[in-house]
Amino acid sequence: MKDTVSEEVLNRAQLWLNGNYDKESKQAILNMMEKDPQELTESFYKDLEFGTGGLRGIMGVGTNRMNKYTVGMATQGLANYLKKMFPHREEIAAVIAYDCRHNNTYFSQIAADVLSANGIRVYQFDALRPTPELSFAIRKLGAQTGIVITASHNPKEYNGYKVYWEDGGQLINPHDVNVVAEARKITEIDDVNFEGNAELQEIIGEEMDKDYVDAIKGLTLSPELIAKHNDLKIVYTPIHGTGVDLVPRALKEFGFSNVFNVPEQDVVSGDFPTVISPNPEESAALKMAIDKAMEVGADVVMATDPDSDRVGIAVRNENNEFVLLNGNQMAALLSYYLFSKWKENGKLDGKQFMVKTIVTSELLIDMADKFNIDSYDVLTGFKFIADIIKKEEGKKTFIAGGEESYGFLIGDFVRDKDAVSACVMVAETAAWATEKGLSLYELLQEIYVEYDLYWERLISVVKKGKSGAEEIEQMMVDYRNTPPATINGSAVVQIKDYQASICKNIKSGEESIIDLPKSNVLQFFTEDGSKISIRPSGTEPKIKFYFGVKAKLDKTSDYNQLHQQLDQRIEEIIESLELK
Task: Per-residue pLDDT tens, the chain, 580 aa: give them.
Answer: 555 899 999 999 999 999 999 999 999 999 999 999 999 999 999 887 765 456 889 999 999 999 999 999 989 999 999 999 999 999 999 999 999 999 999 999 999 999 999 999 999 999 999 999 999 999 999 999 999 999 988 899 999 999 999 999 999 888 988 888 888 888 789 999 999 999 999 999 999 999 999 999 999 999 999 999 999 999 999 999 999 999 999 999 999 999 999 999 999 999 999 999 999 999 999 999 999 999 999 999 999 999 999 999 999 999 999 999 999 999 999 999 999 999 999 999 999 999 999 999 999 999 999 999 999 999 988 999 999 999 999 999 999 999 999 999 999 999 999 999 999 999 999 999 999 999 999 999 999 999 999 999 999 988 887 788 888 999 999 999 999 999 999 999 999 999 999 999 999 999 999 999 999 999 999 999 899 999 998 666 789 999 999 999 999 999 999 999 999 999 999 999 988 6
Q: Are residues 298 and 391 in the same domain?
A: yes
Pair (68, 36) in one structural domain: no
Tell me the residue range of the domain where 547 lies: 454-576
Radius of gyration of the chain (CA): 24
- The whole-number pLDDT of residue 538 equals 67
- Mark whether 423 and 511 lie in a shared domain: no
Residues 105 and 194 in one domain: yes
Residue type present at position 304 = T
* pLDDT of res. 318: 93
For 368-420, give the secondary structure using H, E and C.
Answer: HHHCCCEEEEECCCHHHHHHHHHHHCCCCEEEEEEECCCEEEECCCCCCCCHH
Q: Which residues of 258-288 are buried (b: 16+ CB within 10 A; e: fewer)?
A: bbbbbeebbebbbebebbebbbbbbeebbbb
Amino acid identity of residue 451, one-letter, is Y
**Does a structural domain hold residue 211?**
no
Query: How are beta strands 374-378 and 352-357 bridged, if at all?
Result: parallel
Tell me how many degrees the CA angle 266-71-31 measures, rounded to the nearest 5.
Answer: 95
Point out which residues pair with 550 in neighbouring strands: 454
Query: Can you give the three-state secondary structure of 446-480, one letter per residue?
Result: HHHHHHCEEEEEEEEEECCHHHHHHHHHHHHHHHH
Domain final position from 451, 472, 489: 451
Per the domain annotation, does 62 fall within a domain? yes
Q: How far apart are CA 537 and CA 521, in angstroms?
A: 10
Q: Say if residue 385 is in the same domain as residue 442.
A: yes
Angle between helices 243-254 and 419-435 (to 10 degrees): 40
With beta carbons less than 8 A apart as the criterion, state whether 455 and 566 touch: yes
Same domain, 510 and 536: yes
**Whether the Cβ atoms of residue 239 and residue 247 lie closer than 8 Å to each other:** no
35 and 73 part of one domain: no
Residue 181 maps to a domain: yes
CA dist 144 → 41, 49, 162, 245, 382 (Å): 37, 21, 14, 27, 19
* Contact indicator for 148, 138 with CB cutoff of 8 Å: no
Q: What is the CATH number of the domain that holds 501?
A: 3.30.310
Residues 6 or more apart whose CB falls under 8 angstroms from that of 466 comprise 41, 42, 45, 46
Domain assignment of residue 212, yes or no: no
Catalytic residues: 152
Is the CB of residue 54 less than 8 Å from the CB of residue 160?
yes
- Residues 439, 468: one domain? no
What is the pLDDT at residue 466?
Answer: 77
Report residue 41 CA to chain centroid gap: 29
d(CA 103, CA 67): 9
Residue 41 shares a structural domain with residue 55: no
Whether residue 216 is contained in a domain is answered as no
In a domain, 354, yes or no: yes
Tell me how long the chain is: 580
Q: Determine the Cα–Cα distance for residues 395 and 438; give it in Å rounded to an integer.
A: 36
Decide if 215 is inside a domain. no
CATH number of the domain where residue 385 is located: 3.40.120.10
Q: Are residues 175 and 288 in the same domain?
A: no
Could you tell me which residues come within 8 angstroms of residue 414 by beta carbon, excluding any fewer than 6 positions away?
A: 132, 133, 135, 136, 168, 421
Considering the domain architecture, whether residues 480 and 535 belong to the same structural domain is answered as yes
List % helix, strand, coil for the chain (3-state, nearest 5).
Answer: 40, 25, 35
User: Which residue, of 451, 479, 495, is where some domain finishes?
Assistant: 451
Dihedral sign (CA 183, 187, 191, 192): positive
- The residues that bridge with 170 in the sheet, in sequence order, are 164
> Which run of H or E residues covers position 96?
strand 93-98
Residues 109 and 246 in one domain: no
As a whole number of angstroms, the distance between CA 580 and CA 577 comes to 8
Does 357 map to a domain?
yes
Q: Which residues pair with 511 in a beta bridge?
A: 504
Q: Is 214 exposed, middle or buried (0-12, 13-18, 19+ CB in 10 A)?
A: exposed
Q: What is the pTM of this model?
A: 0.93
How many domains is the chain partitioned into structurally?
A: 4
Q: Which of 206, 239, 259 represents a domain boundary (last residue)?
A: 206
